[in-house]
Structures are given as structure tokens and as C-alpha cells.
Amino acid sequence: MGVLLSIALRNLMQSPRRTLLLGLAIGLVTTFLVLLLSLSRGINENLVTSATTMSAGHVNVAGFWKPTTGTAFPIVTGVAKVREVVEKSTPGLDYVVERHRGWGKVVSETGSVQSGLTGLVAAEESRFFDRLILAEEKEYKDGGSEQVLGDPRRLSEDDTIVLFAGQAKKLGVGVGDVVTIKTETMSGASNTADATVVAVARDLGLLSSFSVFVPKSLVLNLYQLNDDTTGALWVYLKDIEKSEETSVIVRGALIDAGFLLRDHESNPFFFKFEAVQGEDWTGQKLDVTWWQDEVSFLTWVLTAFDTVTWSLTLILVVIIAVGIMNAMWNAVRERTREIGTMRAIGMTQTRVLVLFLLEALFLGLGATTAGATLGAAIALGVDAARIPVPSDAVRTILLSNELNLSVQLNSLLTAVVFLTAFTGLSALWPAIRASRLQPVKALTHTE
Amino acid sequence: MSTASPGIVRLTDVVKDYPLGKVTVHALQRVNLTIEKGEFTVIAGPSGSGKTTLLNLIGCIDVATAGEVTVDGKSTGKLTDKQLTALRLNSIGFIFQSFNLINVLDIKQNVEFPLLLQGGMTKAQRAARVDDVVDKVGLRQFASQRPNELSGGQRQRVAIARALVTRPAIVLADEPTANLDSVTGTQIIDLMRDINHADKTTFIFSTHDDKVMKRADRIVRILDGMLEAAGLSEARASGVIENGGGVHA
Ligand SMILES: Nc1ncnc2c1ncn2[C@@H]1O[C@H](COP(=O)(O)OP(=O)(O)O)[C@@H](O)[C@H]1O
Ligand SMILES: [Mg+2]
């Protein structure tokens, strides 16, 4: 009823100090929640970006090859046939790339780092080069320039390598320098190759400390593998949201085509290694996953972050609820005679309840909308400022070297709806008490 | 007792006790009273005699300890809170001693409020009705002011307009002049009486002021929770004292 809305609004304006104070508290909690939610979405974006650049396609067809029951290699043999089936059976396919996997030591004159080797075919890649953000020279070289040097597309040349800034810094190398890669072959012999640094990429958090990019040929040479093998086929889709369902379709298609497949297990390939080594079979088995499987060991970060966000919010909200309740008790006390009057005139209990709830909901809606707007503005500002994250540990958690906040309408609505509902809920008890006041007692109430 | 006329208000053996610590206050003791449609009745008695208690029972904002209260044909004892609320909304208008207007609403909105609670009227119908009663109480030029911008007498006129706007069967006013100076108080009572004469609206009001009670058609005297006499002022003047059975000439 319109008149209730109008009375509720005017009552709020009638005590501006109380309204402003409460509104400020509710608004600030909303701002806080929006900032944390935006940070959480930012981390999620970092996760998706780094995962689908560094660790996985949207859908992955990897495999294990066991020459004997006691050994296992993360290799897919007979790639051409597998690839044909995948390309034919994947709905919404964008493109497929091959990634060879290896593990080795990258050595320079002044240092060394352990890292996974990712061998790729530069001509096949598109997204990879778009996503990879190159570092400015000063990010990995003391006294370096602000220039971005090198070109990752030179991975099309033999014996080249792309490092991440953190690795380049540890190794003391820059674009144009030569590093040595040392690996162990399947037969246990050690093998080395020299590679020229053609580009240095900006770090992508945890994942980037364990990855370097080299041409596919380099990995094949280091491991002495033939051309019809690969580490995994990374399948990119037009719509990343369809990754999981598509992985099921691809799995089915491969089984239909006569390939042996491992049961789906939501873990990155290196988690499965030990289990596969202990399994009692030989030959080739394929393993189909989607990108979240490959970074499932990282999703705890998001879960933990969201848990902390909501716990902190709940604590703040409970404190504020006490304030709201207190204010509503005051309002009910101050307006007891008015309640008695309205009840006498013929206002029902329900409408008295609605009147007080409306008052709280108005306050909540106004304050949360303002707070969410402020939060969104701050989040956008911080995101645009590209503030560097100072600590390694925090970088690991954020999966990024810069504070990345992603403001989403969904987060804003969540904060506004949740906190408005909570404001209403806090006012519920006083409002119920107000509605249950006996008209006579309310009318004779004296302050 | 006459059964021919049921009365717009009828109290039969009504008792109201208030528990007060360990003692019980007998606010009303076996009260019998019938008020006919269109009467202009005053409940007269000193402070603490039970006037407010009596009006509260008639106004359905309180319930009797014993006995039966019938208002506008409905026995109130068995009604739920919802039904009592509806009865108050549709059959009763209230005028309070301290005006009790809603401060955040302007005069027109205060008067319109009961119509909004009732629902069922168009905006134009409501506006016409509000204008009509606001005119009747002589407040046309104050219609868009807030209550706290008006004098006591003007506020009580607003309250009268609010009480009349739903065209209730009964208008109750508990000491409507107690917070007003005697000239203004008299004007308020005269306004109520004029409306009573013009529209035949039933008015029941209370007072402890002799000057005020003389302006009523019928005086019901109350003392210590018992009705002393009820009758026309002429009857009182001629020394005839009836018991509170509501039978009058
Ligand atoms: N809520 C209550 N609790 C206890 N006693 C009450 C209450 N209301 C009224 N009384 C008592 O009942 C008697 C009648 O009161 P009331 O109806 O208010 O008288 P009046 O309106 O004529 O001044 C008085 O003795 C008063 O003290
Ligand atoms: Mg009284």
C-alpha cells in the first residue's frame, strides 16, 4: 500500500542521524563485501586464464603409455588417429593443439630452475599468444628498461624458449641469451639442449613458476620420441562454459573408436602418475579431462577465500544487526502511541508489521545500493591501477602478480540482496513486537 | 428493559477489572447502557471514574472482563483481533484527547488514511470525500500542512475530519477538549454537535468539564465505575434520574 511506503520513508527521514549512522554501517559492510567478491572473481579469472594457457585446453586428451607394468610415461602415441577422432566428434570445436610434456632443469651461467617443459607447435597456437602477456625488461632485469623485448612467435624456430619473468630473474638471463635444458630420457640417460630465450612472459602466479615453453621439436629431441607422439591434445571450444559436457562427449567418441580410456578422475595429470605406475597393464590408455580437473588442486584457494569473505561478512553483519535491532526498538518505543492510534483507527497487525519492515528494507536497500556502488567504483579503480602484489605467498594465492578485481553485476546483486534481506531480518523481531502491541496499552504508553 | 430497539451500542452487565499488583481495580461494575443511533451523548464523571475504560470497550480496543458489548449489531466478545480491527475501521471513528495525528503525513493524508486502510475507493472518490470533511471542519486552507504546524484546536478538527471520513456509525471522543482552552473546547464540541445534527452521526464523548457536558443531548454520569444516571439533559435538569438502562423519553 502506497501510504505505508510513504510513512516508512518519511519516518526514516524524521530521524536523519539514526538513519545516516545505520545506513553508513550497512553501506560500508556492503562495500567491503563487494570488494572481496570482486577480488574472488578476479582470482577466479586469473585461475581460468592461467589454467587454460598454462595447464590445459578447455578439454584435454592426454594419455599414459606403459612399456612395462612398472613404468609409465605421460605420452599419447598414434596422435594422428586420436586427433582425427577428436576433431570429428567435438561439437563447438574452435581448434586443437598439441602439447608435449617434459620435466627438466633450465640452467644458465649464474643459476638454474626446475620446470615443466611445454612443447608446442607455434603455427597451431592462437589463444596462447594472445593470452601470454610479455614482461617489461625491468621486471626480470635489474636496471632493465620499460620496453617489452622479444617475440614468443619465434617459438616456431628450433631451439628457442620462452621463460616467465620470475625464472628469467633467477637465471639472470634476458631475451637473446642462451640457456641449457637438461632432462632424463625414458631409458634413464641424461640429455641436454641449448635454447635461445625469445621472450619473457609476465608471471601468472603459482602455475608460471613451473612452466617454460619450447618448440615441440625440442621436447621430441630431448626425449628421443617420434613425431607421432605427444603429451596431450588441448581442445579449445568456442564456448568455455561447455567444457565439462564436451569432455563427456569426447570421451564417449574415443571409446567408440576403440581406444582404451582411464576412468574420469578430477585431478591434474601429474597427480595420476603414481597410480598409473602401480596399475597392472601395459600399452596405451587415454585420459580425458576438462580444464577444472587440471587445476583442481588450485580451487581450494577460491574456496578458502570465499569462506573467509563470507565469515568476515557474517561477523560484521551480526554486529550491525545488533545496531539495527536497537534502532528499531527505539523507533517502536518512540512511536508506540502512533502504533496504538493506527491500530485503533483500523490498521491490521500485518500492516503494522509491514510498515516497520518496510522502514528497515528501505534503509537496507538505500544503504546497500550506495555501498555496492562505492565498492564497484573502488574495485574498478584498484583493478585499473594494476597494483603489484608484493609478497610471493600472496601472489601464489591470488594466482597473479597484480591485484586483479573483477566487478560483476552478480556480485553486486548478491551483496545488495543479501545485506538488504539481513537488514529486514534484523528488524523482524521489533516489527513483530510492534504489530502485537495491544491498542489500549499502546495508546496509553508514555515515554 | 426495552428490547424493541437494539441500539447502535449496547452494554449488558459489563464488568471491567484491572489487576494491579495484588489488588484488583474494579474499573466498571455491572454497567448497562444503550445508545441509539444519532444520539449526541456525553459520558460525564470525575477523573478515575471509568470514562476511558467505558469508551475503550465501546471502541473495541479493549475487552470486557464480563458482560456483553454490542456495537453496530455485533457482539464484540467473540470477535478475533482481525474482526475487531475491521469493526473499528468500518463502524467507529476515534477522536483522542491529545489528537494523535500521524506527524509525518500532512492534513489531507491524515484524513485520507482510514480510507486507504479500507481500500475500494478510487483516488478521485477519496479526494472528494477528504475535501468534503476537511471543508466541514473548516480547514480547507491548511490541507497540505503538517500537524505540528497547527494549533491544538485545528489539530482536533483534523482528528474530527479523520474520524468522520469513513462515515462511521459511531464517533468516540475521549475527553476531546481536555487539551484545549475552554473557548476552543466549546467550539470543538459545537462543531461535533453541528455535524451530529446535520448528518445524524452518533457521537459519544467523555468529559469532566461541567460547561462541556451541558452541550450534550444526553448525559450519562459515571462514578467509581458505576453509571449514576443516563438520560436527556432536560430530564436531569428536571430532577428525573434514570438508571443506566438507556431508556429515555
Ligand atoms: N491499565 C490499567 N491498569 C490498572 N488500573 C487501571 C488501568 N486503566 C485504568 N485503571 C483504573 O481504572 C479506573 C478507571 O480509569 P479510567 O477509565 O481511566 O478513568 P477516567 O477515564 O474516567 O479518568 C481508575 O481507578 C484507574 O486507575
Ligand atoms: Mg480518561
Distance CA B223, CA B206 (A): 13
Average pLDDT for B185-203: 93
- Whole-angstrom Cα Rg for chain A: 30
CB pairs under 8 A between A and B: 69
- Asked if the structure places residue B59 within a domain, the reply is yes
Distance of CA B181 to the CA centre of its chain: 20
- Contact between A69 and A92 under an 8 Å Cβ cutoff? The reply is no
- Asked if the structure places residue B176 within a domain, the reply is yes
- Is the pLDDT at B126 greater than 50? The verdict is yes
**Chain B residues whose beta carbon lies within 8 Å of the beta carbon of residue A12:** none
Helix axes A409-436, A16-50, angle to 10 degrees: 150
- The ipTM, to two decimals, is 0.89
| Residue segments in chain A with a per-residue pLDDT below the cut of 50 | none
Mutate to test the pocket of ligand 1, among B24, B49, B204, B209 (most ligand atoms within 8 A of CB): B49
HEC profile of chain A: CHHHHHHHHHHHHHCHHHHHHHHHHHHHHHHHHHHHHHHHHHHHHHHHHHHHHHHCCCEEEEEEEECCCCCCECCEECHHHHHHHHHHHCCCEEEEEEEEEEEEEEECCCCEEEEEEEEECCCCCCHHHHHCCECEHHHCCCCCCCCECECHHHHHCCCEEEEEHHHHHHHCCCCCCEEEEEEECCCCCEEEEEEEEEEEECCECEHHHHEEEEEHHHHHHHHCCCCCEECEEEEEECCHHHHHHHHHHHHHHHHHCCCCECCCCCCCHHHHHHHHHHCCCCEEEEEEEEHHHHCCCCHHHHHHHHHHHHHHHHHHHHHHHHHHHHHHHHHHHHCHHHHHHHHHHCCCHHHHHHHHHHHHHHHHHHHHHHHHHHHHHHHHHHHHHCCECCCHHHHHHHCCCECCCCCCHHHHHHHHHHHHHHHHHHHHHHHHHHHHCCHHHHHCCCC
Distance CA B52, CA B39 (A): 19
**Joined grid coordinates for residue A215:** 618448440
- Contact between B225 and B29 under an 8 Å Cβ cutoff? The reply is yes
**Chain A residues whose beta carbon lies within 8 Å of the beta carbon of residue B55:** none
pLDDT of B243 reads: 39
**Which residues 6+ apart lie within 8 Å of B49 measured at CB?**
B208, B222, B223, B224, B225
Amino acid at A347: M
Q: Is A345 exposed, middle or buried (0-12, 13-18, 19+ CB in 10 A)?
A: buried
pLDDT of B249 reads: 35
Q: Which of A1, A344, A438 shows the shortest C-beta gap to B94?
A: A344
Q: Residue A276: name the closest of A54, A58, A57, A62 by CA.
A: A62
Order of strands across the sheet that contains B170-174: B92-95, B170-174, B202-207, B40-44, B218-223, B226-232
What is the CATH classification number for the domain harbouring B169? 3.40.50.300
Q: Which residues pair with B70 in a beta bridge?
A: B10, B75
Distance CA A248, CA A59 (A): 9
3-state secondary structure (DSSP) of residue B204: strand
Q: Which residues pair with A93 in a beta bridge?
A: A237
Among the ranges given (A52-56, B40-44, B56-60, B118-122), the one the predictor scored with the smallest mean pLDDT: A52-56
Q: What is the DSSP string of B117-134?
A: HH----HHHHHHHHHHHH
- Asked if the structure places residue B2 within a domain, the reply is no
Q: Distance, CA B157 to ligand 2 centroid (Å)?
A: 20
- Among protein residues, the one whose CA lies closest to atom 21 of ligand 1: B52
**Which residues 6+ apart lie within 8 Å of A25 measured at CB?**
A320, A323, A367
pLDDT in tens, B13-38: 999 999 988 999 999 999 999 999 99
- Give kind and range of the element (H or E) at residue B168: none
- Is the pLDDT at B241 greater than 50? The verdict is no
pLDDT of B231 reads: 46
Which of B52, B61, B171 is the best mutation test for A, with the most CBs of A within 10 A?
A: B61
- Contact between A342 and B96 under an 8 Å Cβ cutoff? The reply is no
pLDDT in tens, B76-92: 999 999 999 999 999 99
CA within 13 Å, CB half, A213: 29
Q: Name every protein residue with a CB atom under 6 angstroms from any ligand 1 atom.
A: B 18, 20, 25, 27, 45, 47-53
Which ligand is nearest the CA of B98, by number?
2
Q: Do B61 and A443 touch (CB under 8 A)?
A: yes
Distance CA B149, CA A115 (A): 81
CB atoms within 10 A of CB A5: 14
**Joined grid coordinates for residue B149:** 504546524
pLDDT of A152 reads: 93
Average pLDDT for B217-234: 77
- Give kind and range of the element (H or E) at residue B9: strand B9-20
Residue numbers of A between 299 and 358 with CB closer than 8 Å to B: 337-338, 340-349, 351
CB atoms within 10 A of CB A356: 27
Q: Which of B59, B82, B90 shows the shortest C-beta gap to A344?
A: B59
pLDDT of B232 reads: 44
What domain range includes position B119?
9-248
Q: Distance, CA B171 to ligand 2 centroid (Å)?
A: 16
Distance CA A435, CA A438 (A): 8
**Chain B residues whose beta carbon lies within 8 Å of the beta carbon of residue A3:** 105, 109, 112-113, 116
- Is the pLDDT at B235 greater than 50? The verdict is no
The pairing of strands B40-44 and A283-290 is unpaired
Which ligand is nearest the CA of B23, by number?
1
- Asked if the structure places residue B115 within a domain, the reply is yes
3-state secondary structure (DSSP) of residue B23: strand
**Chain B residues whose beta carbon lies within 8 Å of the beta carbon of residue A7:** 102, 104-105
Q: What's the gap in Å between the CA of B207 and the closest CA on chain A?
A: 17
- Contact between A375 and A34 under an 8 Å Cβ cutoff? The reply is yes
Q: Residue A348: name the closest of A361, A357, A339 by CA.
A: A339
- Contact between A38 and A406 under an 8 Å Cβ cutoff? The reply is yes
**Joined grid coordinates for residue A23:** 545506513
Q: Which of A6, A337, A348 shows the shortest C-beta gap to B85?
A: A348
Q: Do B117 and A345 touch (CB under 8 A)?
A: yes
pLDDT of B229 reads: 54
- Contact between A97 and A233 under an 8 Å Cβ cutoff? The reply is yes
Which of A5, A6, A334, A341 is the best mutation test for B, with the most CBs of B within 10 A?
A: A341
pLDDT of B233 reads: 44
Atom number, ligand 1, closest to the C-alpha of residue B222: 22
Residue of A nearest to B117 (CA): A347
Order of strands across the sheet that contains B9-20: B23-35, B9-20, B66-71, B74-75
- Give kind and range of the element (H or E) at residue B28: strand B23-35
- Among protein residues, the one whose CA lies closest to atom 1 of ligand 1: B18
pLDDT of B173 reads: 96
Q: What's the gap in Å between the CA of A50 and the closest CA on chain B?
A: 58
Among the ranges given (B62-76, B123-137, B218-232), the one the predictor scored with the smallest mean pLDDT: B218-232
pLDDT of B142 reads: 94
- Asked if the structure places residue B74 within a domain, the reply is yes
**Chain B residues whose beta carbon lies within 8 Å of the beta carbon of residue A1:** 116
Task: Inform me whether the C-beta atom of residue A436 falls under 8 Å from chain B C-beta atoms.
Answer: no
Q: Which of B62, B96, B100 shows the shortest C-beta gap to A440?
A: B62
HEC profile of A20-84: HHHHHHHHHHHHHHHHHHHHHHHHHHHHHHHHHHHHCCCEEEEEEEECCCCCCECCEECHHHHHH
Which ligand is nearest the CA of B53, by number?
1
- Asked if the structure places residue B33 within a domain, the reply is yes
**Which residues 6+ apart lie within 8 Å of A284 measured at CB?**
A63, A64, A65, A66, A76, A77, A78, A259, A260
Enter the pTM of the model. Answer: 0.78
Q: Residue B111: name the closest of B34, B167, B30 by CA.
A: B167
Chain length of chain A: 447
Q: Distance, CA A334 to ligand 1 centroid (Å)?
A: 23
Overall domain count for chain B: 1
pLDDT of B5 reads: 65
Phi, psi of A65 (to 5 degrees): -115, 125
- Asked if the structure places residue B4 within a domain, the reply is no
User: Is B148 or A447 the better-scoring residue by pLDDT?
Assistant: B148
